[in-house]
Chain A
Amino acid sequence: MLDERTARAVQLTNRGVDRVTAVALARDVLRSNPSARDTHHCFLVLAHAGEVAEPPTHHTAAARASALIDAGQHDEALEVLLSPDESAEHFFARGRLNQEQGHHDRAYADFTAAGRAAEASGVTNPAVLPWRSAAALSAHDAGRPVVARSLAESALVAARRWGASPAVGRALHAVALTGDPARAVDRLTTAVHLLSASGACVLPARHSLAQALATQGRHAEAARTCATTHTIARQLGNPLWIQRTSELGERLDRLSLLTPQESRSAVLACAMSNREVAAELGVTTRTVELHLSQVYRKLHVKGRRELNRVILRLGVTPP
């Protein structure tokens, strides 16, 4: 049997209201010689409230799968997720795997299933399970921007209601990626600030910030942000983010090698033929071809398709 105060704290946390009371109750219990179960739940309350670092749990299959996804071990994560399970955490972990693998529609279905399961068990706090923000990002990548933006903003309202900085930071990250691109840098900067005390949780936001800065043409800042993120990833020993920041850093370096004319041609070539680019820039087709061959050489890409990938999909535009 849980202590009354623990039960109340858990209830408030699941609903996502009155964080101050939940924290006070949890601390109270922890000070008064609690049972093992009470300790476990109260620490979770404090973690969701942003008061302590999230304790790494590997008790459930979903938690193990999540950790495997964080480490980039997708095959192993899929193995773990094959056992049938209708819990919110299971759907959420499956959604994360699908999202990482680019199956955005399936990820969206998984995240909304996670949301239904969570609501059914009374969990509406995004700090406990951020299914809305995750669903928003998947919807965005699946080409459903109206749904994405609305979900992301409603997640932010819910996160602010609870008020824990890491939860607000995560929600703000999703809002930045699904909302007005002109506001992305500001929002991501705030998100990074809110997540700065949360260990590895800050890495995705920092990475997005570097990409957003590059998209806005602020390449020096982008490179600096990316380099710092890389350092943090190394300090935390996180192989997935070490690799990602490394790749982004390289791409930013290479892009900065392009001359302004080369980069204009490169960006336009993603959407038009050489002739159309030439017309747009007021130069000859031959000139455009010359620019592009330089671009291919400097960016180590073999043709237009790869160029598209580097420039458009990664949200990084050359200076």
Chain B
Amino acid sequence: MRTMLRPDRRRTGCLASKAVHQTFGGANFPEAARLAHAALDARSCRDDPVCVWRAMIGLIASGDLITAGAHAGRLLDDVNPGLADERRRHTMHAQVRGQIARLSGDLTTARVVLASTPPATSSLRLLSAALLVEVLVDAGDVDEAEKTLLANDFDHELRQPSAMRPMLLAARAAVHRAKGHPLAAYLDYLICGQDFLAMGVTSTAILPWRGKAALAAHAAQRVELAQRLAAAELAAARRWGEPRVVGTALSTLGRVRGDDGTALLADSADLLAAAGAQHELAATRLELGRRLTARGDITAARGEYASAHTSATRTENPAHLRQAAEALARLAPAPARALTRQEDLVARLAEAGLSNRAIAQRLFLTVHTVEAHLSNVYRKLGASGRKDLSGALRAR
């Protein structure tokens, strides 16, 4: 079957192939989403499994996991069965569901879905295996990831260029990285990128290979190289614009830059949270917590570690859970002294934005008294000022 990466000449011009074309071009993700949506409704595309598959790619790359999830079942039920056999369609369906689960941080479901379907053709088998390997690495099960590479004979398959090779290379590179071989990972990512470019895929929406190469280079102490790749990744990500992609690129750049990168990581966390990318979010918040601790901003650091812990609870990634828990334990515990009623009132009014004078007028106190109450509040909550107040009150 023509895979997603080789546009079918018969179907050129249909909405689904336009959606994929837009995705590979790497600019303007709302347009890709719009085309993918239209393809799902169009008479020419709605019954064709390859079209539905392509629409899924466009939707997933555009971050519209909700629509993708709602329509994935069509690969099983609503399409014209004559155009692709049942096993093939089951595998495509499993891959879509697996990707959606993975991108939402539900690594457990992703793992089950991708491991359980017996794939049909060899190219589909390899793609499922590649996706599974990435999920296993994300979940921290590197041994199982390595076994999957071997069981599917990746080293042999990777020797010839093919439509699937970039994805296979990325999977193998992920295992290299997880096992502490960053240089080997870097080389795999480079070939992956070359393969994509040779196929005319300039987009970072399918796989952020430049960013991953940057992290690998950074781990191999090639700092300047890492920074150049990370900057290129961010430029490509901004062209596409989707929150997960931009957030991931910002996180990568924040990590490899020499300065504290706090602003980049904070922006990254916000976008990853908006995209529901719980796994990447946990990792970013842990890093942000480390940087904030290093510069002495303990209240903010504690907030980041706590949020990282929440995300890690959802993804069930053991490494993230452990790191977040340890970090929280290491930080000086938040002072748990109770506020008096007056202090609590003053704190809430200050957090709501009232000035000291306004608070004084409202509570029939002097400004001096309000200032004294606030100073107690800061001391008791370990806050260093009005700015910290929101976070400190919420953390109680």
Contact = CB atoms under 8 A, between A and B. Distances in A.
16 contacts: A15-B66, A16-B66, A78-B354, A82-B348, A82-B349, A82-B352, A109-B390, A112-B270, A119-B276, A144-B267, A146-B246, A147-B271, A150-B242, A151-B271, A158-B66, A161-B66
Contact of A157 (B33, B70, B246): B33
B33 to A, nearest CB: 5
Contacts of A139: 270
B212 interface: no
A175 B30 CA distance: 11
Contacts of B238: 146
A81 interface: yes
B66 A81 contact: no
A13 interface: no
A188 B164 CA distance: 42
B298 interface: no
Contacts of B63: 154, 157
Chain B binding surface, main DSSP class? helix
A84 interface: yes
A119 B354 CA distance: 29
Interface string A118-160: 0100001000000010010001000010110111011011101
Contacts of B64: 157-158, 161
Contacts of B390: 106, 109
Contacts of A157: 29-30, 33-34, 62-64
Contacts of A18: 70
A56 B270 CA distance: 32
Contacts of A99: none
A81 B353 CA distance: 11
A112 B273 contact: yes
A158 B29 CA distance: 12
B275 interface: yes
B182 interface: no
Interface string B172-209: 00000000000000000000000000000000000000
Interface of B: 29-30, 33-34, 37, 62-64, 66-67, 70, 238, 241-243, 246-247, 250, 267, 270-271, 273-276, 348-349, 352-354, 390
A149 B353 contact: no
Given A84-B348, A153-B241, 9 more contacts: A18-B70, A82-B352, A112-B270, A112-B273, A146-B267, A154-B275, A157-B34, A161-B37, A175-B30
Nearest to B28: A153
A117 interface: no
A50 interface: no
A78 B353 contact: yes
A150 B246 contact: yes
Contact of B271 (A94, A150, A175): A150
A115 interface: yes
A103 interface: yes
A165 B253 CA distance: 38
Contacts of B247: 150
B67 A161 contact: yes
A101 B64 CA distance: 34
Contacts of A208: none
Nearest to A75: B358
Contact of B353 (A103, A124, A161): A103
Nearest to A94: B352
A132 B33 CA distance: 17
A55 B390 CA distance: 33
Interface of A: 15-18, 78, 81-82, 84, 94, 98, 101, 103, 106, 109, 112, 115-116, 119, 124, 132, 135, 139, 144, 146-147, 149-151, 153-154, 156-158, 160-161, 175
B274 to A, nearest CB: 6
A116 B311 CA distance: 13
Contacts of B67: 17, 161
Contacts of A109: 390
Contacts of A158: 64, 66
Contacts of B273: 112, 116
A18 B274 CA distance: 22
Contact of B243 (A17, A81, A154): A154
Contacts of A151: 243, 270-271, 274
A145 to B, nearest CB: 10
Nearest to B267: A147
B198 to A, nearest CB: 29
Contacts of A78: 352-354
A16 B65 CA distance: 12
A153 B37 contact: no
A149 B271 contact: no
A147 B266 CA distance: 10
A149 B70 CA distance: 27
Contacts of B270: 112, 139, 147, 151
A158 B67 CA distance: 9
A84 B29 CA distance: 39
Interface centre among B241, B247, B275 (most CB of A within 10 A): B241
A15 B241 CA distance: 23
Given A153-B241, A157-B63, A161-B64, A106 B30 contact: no
A146 B29 contact: no
Contacts of B246: 146, 150
B322 to A, nearest CB: 25
A146 B243 CA distance: 10
Contacts of B267: 144, 146-147
Pick the 8 closest A-B CB pairs, nearest first: A157-B33, A150-B246, A150-B243, A147-B267, A154-B243, A153-B241, A153-B30, A157-B30
Interface centre among A18, A82, A116, A150 (most CB of B within 10 A): A150
A157 to B, nearest CB: 5
B280 to A, nearest CB: 14
Nearest to A81: B352
Contacts of A144: 267
Nearest to B249: A146
B37 A160 contact: yes
Contacts of B62: 157
A58 to B, nearest CB: 21
Contacts of B29: 153, 157
A17 B66 contact: yes
Contacts of A81: 352
Contact of B242 (A98, A106, A154): A154
Given A78-B352, A109-B390, A160-B33, A150 B241 contact: yes
